[in-house]
Amino acid sequence: MQFGIFTVGDVTTDPTTGRTPTEEERIRSMVEIALKAEELGLDVVAFGEHHNPPFVPSSPTTMLGYVAARTKNLVLSTATTLITTNDPVKIAEDYAMLQHLADGRVDLMMGRGNTGPVYPWFGQDIRNGIQLAFENYALLHRLWREDVVDWEGQFRTPLTGFTSTPRPLDGVPPFVWHGSIRSPEVAEQAAYYGDGFFHNNIFWPKEHTQRMVDLYRRRFEHYGHGPADQAIVGLGGQVFMRPNSQDAIREFRPYFDKAPVYGGGPSLEEYAAQTPLTVGSPQEVIDRTLSFREYVGDYQRQLFLIDHAGLPLATVLEQLDMLGGIVVPALRREFSAIRASGVPGAPLHPRVQATRAARSDGPAEAA
Amino acid sequence: MATRSLVVVSAGLGSPSSTRLLADRLAAAVDRLLRDAAIDPTVEVIELREHAHDLTNNLLTGFPSPSLQAAIDRVVEADGLIVVGPIFNASYSGLFKLFFDVLERDGLAGMPVLIAATGGTARHSLALEHAVRPLFAYLNAAVVPTAVYAASEDWGQAGVAADGSLVERIERAARELSVTIATREPRGRADPFDETGGFGEMLDALEKKGTGHRSSG
């Protein structure tokens, strides 16, 4: 099982100090967080993609290429890549290039994006969101698997005799996850291709996550990719920790109360009860995370959101220390002890698998 | 005996409120008329006041609390609705609208609905026709022809309104709703997680649907 972090890359004023980081500071903090994740032996770092303030990460492969050059083990991923408003040809090219430079340590998570104006800024219409996700991905899937593509669709210029270069590293395309909070169509799409399905598992009650994952698993089996309990599932999670539970709640509350997503709404306690948000001791985070398995089954990837809502970098790095030093080692141990036999790990590029197999002391086996 | 579920949504603010008083009178009349038609109805009242904070939270977070979810489930799974609220500033109150704003898409499609309202004077009565009826028309509900407005003075007089006394209007509207409920099959609720015909069919359906969208209609 893989453990890592994902970040949206928001520039948010710290509500306790009134200080707003510059874009440069935020971008550099994202790099620093990724390097720390590598140092602590986490498996994955995934960056968001946004094209509007207050978010900085508009150019994911630039960021990922830079991090790739400074790391050796991390799998570099996205959370999410906008399959609706990016040209699928450019996604095919950019991520194949990144794959070569990162020795195969690359996968992607596709998402639609829910910011209305971004669609027209890129010449699209949010009302076609699902259709764009289907058509663009169908083309991307072919571009990585067929050397010469003839193609025609509704949303982009037709292609005749097009070859996307560079070809995927060793002929193996990056593994793809499809992320969606509430659209059953996306779970269906992930199942159809035998790709992974990721639920952010942050903003909504666990029942929604459960229903989406359950649909994906049933349909994965239906399309002949293997038994439902061996489908490839990833989850998000949102945590804030201090050794002492009450300290964690006291420190995180002002950030929660002003957070762009839920600020002004339910109390921290209500939100933590109704969603997977966990604010408390590392042991509470371990227990809560282990409980995810009870409603989605054995799964392959767990990503945590820890750097948002204006939390200062120093605090985020402390969170990472607890995550890498206490939480993840315990989760690796506990999850592997209870995982059903036959459940595969998250797919890795053969080169990464070979590197990991050759290493005996690292953070691990593919599973 | 056949059964049907009748749900009453009341947006009254006081306790007791004249809105709830009107809601109860309407519910009792519909209940009686359905029993006359050999239907055994279940009647439940949802007081929006009890969900006011959760409704705001739902707007901000995008999901309902467990108790609000239970109320929403009862409403969208009902066979008929009576909705009653006070008229504020020539329209429905904010609390009344909030509830219908957080319902799932198509949740009220085809739903038999009786609309009713209360107010200080009869001058606000047409707000039902100009504000409340279009809201439910937009939601594709089957709104019965008679809307019931009760001004404070209606509770003490008989036969003053042009279209009959409050008691007569309650009876007429209740009859319209009960007939609509009685003549329809029980409503089901579509489950978006039901298995589809498959991905290929889904693509075909999307192509046929083109760029149509509900809010453009």
**Which 3 state secondary structure label does DSSP give A45?**
strand
A94: number of Cβ within 10 Å: 20
Provide DSSP, B36-49: HTTEEEEEEEEEGG
Interface test with B, best of A128, A183, A268 (most B CBs within 10 A): A128
CATH number of the domain within which B77 lies: 3.40.50.360
pLDDT bin (cut points 50, 70, 90) of residue B14 is confident
| Residue B133 reports pLDDT greater than 60 | yes
CATH number of the domain within which A13 lies: 3.20.20.30
- pLDDT score of B176: 98
- pLDDT score of B210: 47
Nearest by CB to B195, which of A185, A218, A275? A218
Contact A214 B193 (CB under 8 A): yes
Q: What are phi and psi of B9, to 5 degrees?
A: -105, 120
Interface test with B, best of A137, A192, A199, A275 (most B CBs within 10 A): A192
Express each pLDDT in A1-32 by its tens digit: 999 999 999 999 999 999 999 999 999 999 99
Express each pLDDT in A190-249 by its tens digit: 999 999 999 999 988 999 999 999 999 999 999 999 999 999 999 999 999 999 999 999
Contact B206 A134 (CB under 8 A): yes
Host H or E run for residue B149: strand B148-151
**Which 3 state secondary structure label does DSSP give B6?**
strand
- pLDDT score of B212: 38
**Among the listed residues A212, A236, A203, the one whose alpha carbon sits nearest the alpha carbon of residue A77:** A236
Contact B203 A134 (CB under 8 A): yes
**Which 3 state secondary structure label does DSSP give B202?**
helix
Domain count, chain A: 1
Domain with B53 in it:
2-216
- pLDDT score of B187: 83
| Residue B217 reports pLDDT greater than 70 | no
Cα distances (Å, whole numbers) of residue B73 to A212, B64, B206? 19, 11, 28
Q: What are phi and psi of A178, to 5 degrees?
A: -115, 125
pLDDT bin (cut points 50, 70, 90) of residue B216 is very low
| Residue A315 reports pLDDT greater than 50 | yes
| Contact partners, residue B22, CB within 8 Å, separation at least 6 | B84, B116, B118, B148, B150, B170
Q: Is residue A364 part of a domain?
A: no
| Residue B103 reports pLDDT greater than 70 | yes
Q: What is the mean pLDDT of residues B153-164?
A: 68
| Residue B211 reports pLDDT greater than 80 | no
The residue of chain B nearest to residue A274, with distances taken between CA atoms, is B65
- pLDDT score of B162: 53
Q: What are phi and psi of A232, to 5 degrees?
A: -100, 110
Q: What is the mean pLDDT of residues B10-22?
A: 93
- Cα separation of A25 and A313, whole Å? 9
Residue A76 in contact with residue A35, Cβ under 8 Å? no
Cα distances (Å, whole numbers) of residue A343 to A4, A200, A304, B175, B181? 20, 21, 22, 60, 51
- Cα separation of B184 and B34, whole Å? 12
Contact B192 A184 (CB under 8 A): yes
Which of the 8 DSSP states describes residue A294? H
- pLDDT score of B159: 53
| Residue A252 reports pLDDT greater than 50 | yes
Q: Is residue A367 part of a domain?
A: no
Q: What are phi and psi of B101, to 5 degrees?
A: -75, -25
Host H or E run for residue A250: helix A245-258
Contact B195 A264 (CB under 8 A): no
Q: Which residues of A touch B (CB under 8 A)?
A: 125, 127-128, 130-131, 134, 154, 184-185, 188-189, 191-192, 203-205, 208, 211-212, 214-215, 218-219, 222-223, 261-266, 270-271, 274-275
Nearest by CB to A265, which of B61, B207, B212? B61
Domain count, chain B: 1
Q: What is the mean pLDDT of residues B45-70?
A: 96
Express each pLDDT in B69-97 by its tens digit: 999 999 999 999 999 999 999 999 999 99
Express each pLDDT in A88-147 by its tens digit: 999 999 999 999 999 999 999 999 998 999 999 999 999 999 999 999 999 999 999 999
Shortest CA gap A68–chain B (Å): 35
Domain with A181 in it:
2-358
